[in-house]
Amino acid sequence: MSDTAERITVSRVIPADASSIFSLITSPKGHVAIDGSGMLVTTDDTAAVTGVGDSFDIAMHQEAFGDYTIKNVITVFEPDSALEWRPGPVGGDASGVVYGYTLSPQGDATQVTSYYDWSDAAQQMKDMGILPIVSQANIEETLVKLEGAATS
């Protein structure tokens, strides 16, 4: 685990190949299934993302904000290696927050690193004290669920 003032990074070695893991994290329904924050509710998007610029919407719920939908736009797409996206309101500008995964083969397993970075978020959001929205524990739980999905 690594933290900076505006970034949380967590790693876990998962006993599955990078291709299987990448398939899960490029699926919008996969994101909902492995969410460790409890904020992702559902998605109607069924097609996996296939490159930079692709997007998928997810219905969200958060106590502080209620129910809302976000659009996740893919900003990094490296098959079996890296995926990053910027969430933002549907029809609006991205929030300046990024989430991502990097995958590194480790023999028959894969080291999965998940990160959440809000360093480019608007200063107003930072000043309001609403960031970070997810915690280290949320990211750790996501990786636990990802492992369960990848090995079942």
Let me know the angle formed at the C-alpha of 117 by 28 and 148, rounded to the nearest 5 degrees.
45
- CATH number of this structure's domain 2-151, picked from the four choices 3.40.50.300, 3.30.530.20, 3.40.1160.10, 3.30.930.10: 3.30.530.20
The model carries a pTM of: 0.93
Domain locations along the chain: 2-151
Asked if residue 29 lies in contact with residue 43, where contact means CB atoms within 8 angstroms, the answer is yes
Written as six digits, the tokens of 107 are 């023999």
Show contacts of 49-54: CB within 8 Å, 24+ apart: 49/74, 49/77, 49/83, 50/26, 50/77, 51/77, 52/76, 52/77
As beta bridge partners, residue 96 has none
pLDDT of residue 1: 45
Task: Tell whether the model's pLDDT for residue 152 goes beyond 50.
Answer: yes
- Over the range 31-67, which residues count as b (16 or more CB within 10 Å of their CB) and which as e? bbebbbbebbeebebeebbeeeebbbbbebeeeeeee
Written as six digits, the tokens of 134 are 């997810």
Peptide bond into 132 cis (omega under 30): yes
pLDDT tens profile 61-110: 988 788 999 999 999 999 999 999 999 888 877 788 999 999 999 999 99
pLDDT of residue 4: 67
Asked if residue 69 lies in contact with residue 62, where contact means CB atoms within 8 angstroms, the answer is no
Task: Tell whether the model's pLDDT for residue 26 goes beyond 60.
Answer: yes
pLDDT tens profile 47-56: 999 999 999 9
Task: Tell whether the model's pLDDT for residue 143 goes beyond 60.
Answer: yes
